[in-house]
């Protein structure tokens, strides 16, 4: 898992017209290739009269692009370039084209597909995800306030709290602060309280 991922927060659509051809740029976050392929198919189904649905996507371990019938290198490559030039991951861009009857030529197609992809990106909200560690910890009632302050100081999150004989906390801490938390938490509780690792996950850092 990458320690940092830059992607878009949610689906955004952008439209432009170039010599009577309509280009619709769709950008959206994905978790994997299956997410991308499903959304691409949904866009194609929603635009049955469109001539082309050019796309590119990048995940943590895969990337793919398609000219979808346009001359080779005039669609998928410029869309992929928008993703790569902006350092994005876990993102997909589809550009739907409704042909207007006028040929654009290779340079015109590259420019139009790049502009539609860039327009969608420019209208999207960029978010940065970091790797967090989710874990479980117990603390006494007398240590609860100090533990809460420590979690907040290290940019962590309390996911849930169960107030039993001791307080059981489900916590998420940035991966690069996890070892520091364990050391300071052990000192805070005099080594009496244990931590149970649960998982790594991606979250928006504070």
The model's pTM is 0.79
Classify the C-alpha dihedral 97-102-108-112 as positive or negative: negative
Helix (H, G, I), strand (E, B) or coil at 35: helix
Distances, alpha carbon 3 to alpha carbons 29, 70, 137, 143, 190, in Å: 17, 36, 23, 31, 31
What's the CA gap between 205 and 105, in Å, rounded?
Answer: 44
Q: Of 1, 103, 128, 114, nearest to 54 (Cα)?
A: 114
Helix then strand then coil, in percent of the chain rounded to 5, is 35, 40, 30
142: β partners: none
What's the CA gap between 131 and 139, in Å, rounded?
Answer: 24
CA-CA-CA-CA dihedral for 121, 126, 128, 134, to nearest 10: -110
Distances, alpha carbon 181 to alpha carbons 19, 45, 57, 79, in Å: 59, 49, 36, 42
Distance of CA 136 to the CA centre of its chain: 26
Q: What is the mean pLDDT of the chain?
A: 93
Give me the domains of the chain, ranges plus CATH numbers: 4-124 (3.30.230.30), 129-204 (3.30.70.240)
Q: What is the pLDDT of residues 15-26, one digit of tens each?
A: 999 999 999 999
Q: What is the pLDDT of residues 17-69, one digit of tens each?
A: 999 999 999 999 998 999 999 999 999 999 999 999 999 999 988 999 999 99
Residue 204 — pLDDT band, cuts 50, 70, 90? confident
CB atoms within 10 A of CB 14: 21
Q: What is the pLDDT of residues 123-134, one digit of tens each?
A: 999 999 899 999
Q: What is the pLDDT of residues 165-201, one digit of tens each?
A: 999 999 999 999 999 999 999 999 888 888 999 999 8
């Amino acid at each position: 898992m990458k320690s940092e991922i830059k992607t878009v927060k949610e689906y955004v659509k952008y439209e432009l017209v170039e010599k009577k051809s309509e280009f619709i740029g769709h950008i959206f976050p994905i978790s994997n290739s299956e997410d991308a392929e499903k959304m691409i198919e949904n866009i194609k189904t929603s635009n049955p009269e469109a001539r082309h649905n050019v796309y590119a996507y990048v995940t943590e371990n895969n990337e793919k692009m398609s000219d979808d019938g346009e001359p080779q290198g005039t669609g998928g490559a410029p869309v992929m370039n928008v993703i790569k030039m902006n350092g994005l991951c876990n993102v997909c861009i589809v550009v739907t084209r409704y042909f207007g009857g006028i040929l654009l030529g290779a340079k015109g197609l590259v420019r139009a597909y790049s502009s539609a992809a860039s327009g969608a990106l420019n209208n999207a909200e960029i978010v940065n995800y970091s790797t967090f560690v989710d874990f479980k910890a117990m603390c006494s009632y007398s240590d609860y306030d100090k533990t809460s302050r420590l979690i907040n100081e290290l940019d962590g999150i309390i996911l849930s709290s169960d107030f039993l004989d001791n307080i059981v906390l489900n916590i998420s801490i940035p991966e690069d602060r996890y070892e520091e938390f364990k050391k300071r938490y052990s000192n805070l509780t005099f080594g009496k309280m244990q931590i149970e690792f649960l998982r790594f996950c991606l979250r928006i850092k504070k």
